[in-house]
Structure 1
Amino acid sequence: MLKVLLPTLMLFPTIWLTPPKWLWPSSLAHGLIIALISLHWLMHTSETGWSLINPFMATDPLSTPLLILSCWLLPLMILASQNHMAHEPLNRQRTYVTLLTSLQFFLILAFGTTEIFMFYVMFEATLIPTLILITRWGNQAERLNAGTYFLFYTLAGSLPLLVALLLLQNETGTLSLLIVGYSKPLLLMTWSNKIWWAGFLIAFLVKMPLYGVHLWLPKAHVEAPIAGSMVLAAVLLKLGGYGMMRMMMLLEPLSKELAYPFIVLALWGVIMTGSICLRQTDLKSLIAYSSVSHMGLVAAGILIQTPWGFTGALVLMIAHGLASSALFCLANTNYERTHSRTMILARGMQTVLPLMTTWWFISTLANLGLPPLPNLMGELMIITSLFNWSPWTLALTGTGTLITAGYSLYMFLMTQRGPLPAHIISLDPSHTREHLLMTLHIMPLLLLVFKPELMWGWCA
């Protein structure tokens, strides 16, 4: 674990002491080296559970894919931000890259920790850099509003979690994930225990986000700079799913009845947010709502607590992280050229940037779940386990899948096909940097098709 944590820490002095012209290349190279080192965690996915243990940090088959995704994303965020940060004063550029690095540091500590309380602290700590990114480097004047939504939704959800954790510590005497699974089962049947159960899960359901408490996400995504959108879509939403998977072990006897309303909300959210996507005019908003739809499936898969549901949820989280982040990068390349996120003002891009259209096509197909990509593997496993739990869920998940295909097609046709609008006179050509960025998103997705057991979690 230190092999990755120490280089991440050393990135801070590198950012602040590098000569100006080497700031972006050196931090990118450093980030890529950390990402490559993190791949060695894949060698240790033991079927028995924890590996690489020290008193505070460890990896297991559930946290390893998410840790590697967090490390993989830092160089991609640096690559994506380079163009629109080039005109900023040097100190602001350094601060920006520092914030991205601190996010990675907190995420590694959150996913790698064995103490639930440390996980809670790091879960909250990721708020601060993300909030600064949104409110300082966001695109429009609405960004302060978006930052407020983001902060208060997440904080209001996670304060009950703090109380629930303190009560658990009082009851079992430990909050270590290594021990708490073996402590005597908590026979919880009173009303206060049901509120305790809700306190545990609501923080993660807000973070995922569950339909009904999702309003902060489209706002935060639309206003965030590209790196903010990427890290939100790819990793921060996954903190919610990861936390739920960890906590479900402790809430056992209660979950059977109490999970019903949340499963219903999650599946209803798949349909509702998909339908909202069908009438979006703003490109980033459409991709943000599609994230809510996919995360609804993940939440339902985790809440029914079957091995297939858990595996499907983890596979879909990793696949969605890469595909959704790729779509945000593509939306950003459009925005940098046309300075508008309104789809109807920037259509017909295929005639001008044909290679970019290829990336759009692959990313859109990945997002809607084209076989044999991992997105489809995850969705199929969740849909199958939900059908096994109750055949009626097929109506909701089937409709959700159809709507997903509909809005994905709508997004692709609106941005790429049709005549070029008359007001677009000149556009920058696509850069090698952008093609490299897309390759580094899509290549892991395609490679995971050949070895999906790397992200199957405990059920491999």
Structure 2
Amino acid sequence: MLKIILPTMMLLPTALLSPQKFLWINTVTHSFAIATLSIQWILPSYYPYKNLTQWTGIDQTSAPLMVLSCWLLPLMILASQNHLQHEPPTRKRIYITTLIMIQPFILLAFSTTELTLFYISFEATLIPTLILITRWGNQPERLSAGIYLLFYTLASSLPLLVAILHLQTQTGTLHLTILGLHSPPTPNSWTNLLSNLALLTAFMVKAPLYGLHLWLPKAHVEAPIAGSMLLAALLLKLGGYGIMRITLLTGPIPNVLCYPFLALALWGALMTSSICLRQTDLKSLIAYSSVSHMGLVIAACMIQTHWSFSGAMILMISHGLTSSMLFCLANTNYERTHSRILLLARGLQPLLPLMATWWLLANLTNMALPPTTNLMAELTIMIALFNWSPLTILMTGAATFLTASYTLFMFTTTQRGPLPDHITHMQNSTSREHLLMALHIIPLLLLILKPNLIS
């Protein structure tokens, strides 16, 4: 564990003290070295916990997510290079430092075996994200987006704190390994129902559940590219991971809670997919598609079977890489056309043919083309849900159909059709951008060969 956390902490002096000329090279190579080291975590082991210490431990639930977060740090730094081109050196250093600051907190949140530490690191990720959005966002609305994010997260996480304290008074411990041995106290009492609700709410807002998702499109649209990648690929997964962890602890979720959450999640997957078909803003479209994918994850976590947990895990990893790649692609378009409106930046395939290939690959994985891991995940979740209640097939089937339609809509509008008159010259795509896309898609394609690493 320290093999990764200490080098991650040492990235801070690297970012602050590197000579200006080597700033990007040093931070990217160092964080790539950390990402390569972290791959050892995914290897299956005989023991339930690897690297178990008093506070942290890595099991099959947290390992894939931790590797994903280590993998995405160098990609976020790579993606931001052009965005920060004309900024003064100090601002560049602060930006990279802010990105690096989030990393230890995310790693701790995924690997901790103690609920208090989990709560602290879960909340601490909010501060650097807020700084990124409010300081480096593009439009003046970034402040309102930051306020939305702050208040949604704070309002939902206070009940979580109360529930954790209540759990401590009831059981006398907050250690996950010991809590797993406790039988859940008085299953059908009001206190148990309320504490379950409080434990789940914070993660439902983070995940986000349809109805609690209003902060997400705002935050995504206003955030700089690294902020969007961070939100889509990692911070939403904190919500899904929290739900998996907590539902395993609290025993079977009472039906009073399970049904509304499940219904909302599936209905949300359907609704946000249809909202995507009406979007004019590219980033907003990708943000809403995240809500619909995470709706499936929440629904799967609610029914608490092996199949559904496995499907939720695969979908979280696949969606983390896919949506991050889509945001990078949207950003490359934005940097050239200075507009995120689909009508103003269309028909780019003749100008950037290789970028169109990346667009095609990203969109095919997003719409769960076989044999991608996205398809394995969606099928696993659908089978688990169908087994739980045959009626869910109506919702999940419609959501899948709509996912394919909005993905194709996004691809055809950005790549095909007549070139707008105002685009007279276009900067060529760079090796840095192609490397960035390749580093997103290669893990996705390799995971097709051995999906049990992340299930």
The aligned counterpart of 2:413 is 414
The aligned counterpart of 1:237 is 236
8 A contact 2:308–2:384 mirrored in 1:
yes
The aligned counterpart of 1:74 is 73
The aligned counterpart of 2:144 is 145
Moved over 6 A (4+): none
Instruction: Structure 1 unaligned segments of length 5 or more: list them.
Output: none
8 A contact 2:300–2:385 mirrored in 1:
yes
Q: How far does residue 179 in structure 1 lie from its aligned partner after superposition?
A: 1.1
Matches of residues 178-257 of structure 1 in structure 2 within 5 Å? 178-257=177-256
The aligned counterpart of 1:90 is 89
Partner SS state of residue 151, structure 1: helix
Instruction: Structure 2 unaligned segments of length 5 or more: list them.
Output: none
8 A contact 1:11–1:101 mirrored in 2:
yes
| Alignment deviations for residues 333-358 of structure 1 (CA, whole Å, 9 cap, x no partner) | 00000000001101110010000000
Q: Does 1:46 align with 2:45?
A: yes
8 A contact 2:347–2:418 mirrored in 1:
yes
The aligned counterpart of 2:127 is 128
| Alignment deviations for residues 17-39 of structure 1 (CA, whole Å, 9 cap, x no partner) | 11111111100010100000101
Q: How far does residue 395 in structure 1 lie from its aligned partner after superposition?
A: 0.3
The aligned counterpart of 2:26 is 26
8 A contact 1:189–1:254 mirrored in 2:
no
Distance 1:272 1:47 in 2: 42
The aligned counterpart of 1:4 is 4
Distance 2:253 2:65 in 1: 28
Identity across matched positions, percent? 62
Q: Which moved more, 1:248-257 or 1:105-114?
A: 248-257
The aligned counterpart of 1:114 is 113
Tell me the TM-score normalized by structure 2.
0.99
Distance 1:407 1:47, change over 3 A: farther
Distance 2:65 2:318 in 1: 11
Distance 1:26 1:419 in 2: 42
The aligned counterpart of 1:306 is 305
Matches of residues 136-175 of structure 1 in structure 2 within 5 Å? 136-175=135-174
Q: Does 1:433 align with 2:439?
A: no
8 A contact 1:47–1:61 mirrored in 2:
no
Partner SS state of residue 252, structure 1: coil
Distance 1:270 1:117 in 2: 32
Q: How far does residue 207 in structure 1 lie from its aligned partner after superposition?
A: 0.2
8 A contact 1:233–1:321 mirrored in 2:
yes
Partner SS state of residue 423, structure 2: coil
Partner SS state of residue 53, structure 1: coil
8 A contact 2:188–2:254 mirrored in 1:
no
The aligned counterpart of 1:17 is 17
One-letter amino acid matched to 1:296: G
Partner SS state of residue 114, structure 1: coil
Q: Which moved more, 1:248-257 or 1:343-352?
A: 248-257
Distance 1:124 1:416 in 2: 39
Distance 2:184 2:81 in 1: 51
8 A contact 1:187–1:253 mirrored in 2:
no
8 A contact 2:115–2:174 mirrored in 1:
yes
Q: CA RMSD in A?
A: 0.9
8 A contact 1:188–1:254 mirrored in 2:
no
Tell me the TM-score normalized by structure 1.
0.98
One-letter amino acid matched to 1:72: W
Distance 1:362 1:97, change over 3 A: same
Partner SS state of residue 349, structure 1: coil
One-letter amino acid matched to 1:171: Q
Distance 1:231 1:255 in 2: 33
Q: How far does residue 192 in structure 1 lie from its aligned partner after superposition?
A: 2.6
One-letter amino acid matched to 2:135: R
Q: Does 1:353 align with 2:328?
A: no
8 A contact 2:186–2:192 mirrored in 1:
no
| Alignment deviations for residues 352-408 of structure 1 (CA, whole Å, 9 cap, x no partner) | 000000000000010110111111111100011000000000000000000001100
Partner SS state of residue 214, structure 1: coil
The aligned counterpart of 2:442 is 443
